[in-house]
Amino acid sequence: MDVEALEREALAAIAEARSADELEEVRVRTLGRKSPLKLALREVRDRKSGMALNAIRERVEQGLAARQAELAQPTEDPTFDPTLPGDEIPRGSYHLITRQRRRIEDVFVGMGYEIFDGREVDTVENNFDALNTAEEHPSRDPRDTFYLDDNTVLRTHTSPSQIRAMRAMEPPVYVASLGRVYRRDTLDATHTPIFHQVEALAVDRHVTLADLRGTMRAFAEAIFGGTREIRMRTSFFPFTEPSVEFDMTCFLCDGAGCAVCKHSGWIEMGGAGEVDPNVLAGVGYDPDEWQGFAWGLGIDRIAFARHGLPDLRLFWENDIRFLSQF
Ligand code: PHE
């Protein structure tokens, strides 16, 4: 018998085995009870050929063990093609209100204003008294305002930031203050008890309503684009005199009338006015030397209008289908 051929064939079959089952077949064929090797071992009579056959058996057994270990290794996934673009890792984005806030801050910084942080929990003094608000003014009613105790409220507007800024700085003052405000409103499509405002305050010598108008216009054009006209309507706020509400021409139809502006051509922006001399005097500024203007407007409403949203509650529901659009 050609024992060397036997070994060569056995090792070749082992190398070709593609699975554990195939390998087992090779084992039975080459080392099983009826295999030529086992039969030859049984026939062997002299020590020399016995040792030669045993050496072959050992090498075949080693070959089987080595191949078995190889087959147990996880193989490359044939469905994995590294040349294809990978799955994109989903990335978060800023909330629409945050994005709007940051745009507004950029516009004010660009006009030379300082961003000033007020407090969401503030004193009745800052929220009402120092803003010249009469004792019997309806906005003080606990049915409209969240009181934490007799002297502390969740601020109902960002205007107390005017007081904090003027008490902290010497005039001239140019600040914008943005953040959350709180009112006891019932939640519906157009009211949320928490919303966001931006307050602008400029105090300098010889500040007039014309400066206010020009600043509003620059602001409206920076946020909404195009050429915007500003319209002022007389109004009342305790802390401004005169007081106005201001509108801008619709950013969609430029004043022609469309669904966004409810066919009026105008979009309401917010309240404004010349800072009341009582307020200036209250923070220790001489009203004969310093004048100022202030305005406040709702950030949520700007985002609402710009994106044609149907319901303010979308800002609070954290629905990923909504949030991921921005
Ligand atoms: N604080 C007022 C409001 O919330 C808006 C306002 C701000 C009006 C500054 C005048 C000046 O309605």
HEC assignment per residue over the chain: CCHHHHHHHHHHHHHHCCCHHHHHHHHHHHHCCCCHHHHHHHHCCCHHHHHHHHHHHHHHHHHHHHHHHHHHCCCCCCCCCCCCCCCCCCCCCCCHHHHHHHHHHHHHHHCCCEECCCCCEEEHHHHCHHHCCCCCCHHHCCCCCCEEECCEEECCCCCHHHHHHHHHCCCCEEEEEEEEEECCCCCECCECCEEEEEEEEEEECCCCHHHHHHHHHHHHHHHHCCCCCEEEEEEEECCEEEEEEEEEECCCCCCCCCCCCCCCCEEEEEEEEEECHHHHHHCCCCCCCCEEEEEEEEHHHHHHHHCCCCCCCHHHHCCHHHHCCC
Torsion of CA 179, 156, 294, 236, to 10 degrees: 150
| Ligand 1 midpoint to CA 239 (Å) | 8
| pLDDT score of 78 | 73
pLDDT in tens, 244-281: 999 999 999 999 999 888 899 999 999 999 999 999 99
| Ligand 1 midpoint to CA 274 (Å) | 11
* Ligand 1 atom with minimal separation from the 200 CA: 9
| pLDDT score of 7 | 87
* Ligand 1 atom with minimal separation from the 197 CA: 4
Residues with CB under 6 A from ligand 1: 157, 159, 199, 237, 240, 270-273, 294-296
Q: Whose CA is nearest to atom 9 of ligand 1?
A: 295
| Ligand 1 midpoint to CA 321 (Å) | 34
| Ligand 1 midpoint to CA 157 (Å) | 7
| Ligand 1 midpoint to CA 318 (Å) | 29
* Ligand 1 atom with minimal separation from the 156 CA: 4
Q: Whose CA is nearest to atom 10 of ligand 1?
A: 272
| Ligand 1 midpoint to CA 108 (Å) | 17
| Ligand 1 midpoint to CA 245 (Å) | 9
User: What does the block give as tokens for 157?
Assistant: 């507007």
Q: Report residue 3's pLDDT band, with 50, 70 and 90 as the boundaries.
A: confident
Of 279 and 309, the one with more pLDDT: 279
* The pLDDT of residue 139 is above 90: yes
| pLDDT score of 112 | 97
Which has the minimum average pLDDT: 114-128, 189-203, 312-326? 312-326
pLDDT in tens, 198-244: 999 999 999 999 999 999 999 999 999 999 999 999 999 999 999 99
Nearest to 100 by CA among 196, 227, 3, 239: 196
* Ligand 1 atom with minimal separation from the 181 CA: 4
pLDDT in tens, 45-100: 888 888 888 888 899 899 999 999 888 887 777 777 778 788 888 888 999 999 99
* Ligand 1 atom with minimal separation from the 271 CA: 8
| Ligand 1 midpoint to CA 220 (Å) | 17
* Ligand 1 atom with minimal separation from the 157 CA: 4
| pLDDT score of 2 | 78
Q: Whose CA is nearest to atom 12 of ligand 1?
A: 271
CB 217 within 8 A of CB 230: yes
Q: Report residue 287's pLDDT band, with 50, 70 and 90 as the boundaries.
A: very high
Of 236 and 34, the one with more pLDDT: 236
Strand-pair partners of 272: 244, 295
For residue 323, how many other CB atoms are within 10 A of its CB? 16
Question: What is the percent of the chain with per-residue pLDDT over 70, rounded to a whole number?
Answer: 99
* Ligand 1, pocket-test mutation among 153, 159, 196, most atoms within 8 A of CB: 159
* pTM score, whole prediction: 0.73
Instruction: Give Cα 294 to chain centroid, integer Å.
Output: 30
Mean of pLDDT over the chain: 92
| Ligand 1 midpoint to CA 297 (Å) | 7
| pLDDT score of 89 | 85
| pLDDT score of 285 | 98
Nearest to 315 by CA among 183, 190, 157, 177: 190
Architecture of domain 96-323: 2-Layer Sandwich (3.30)
| pLDDT score of 1 | 64
Nearest to 297 by CA among 100, 75, 54, 124: 100
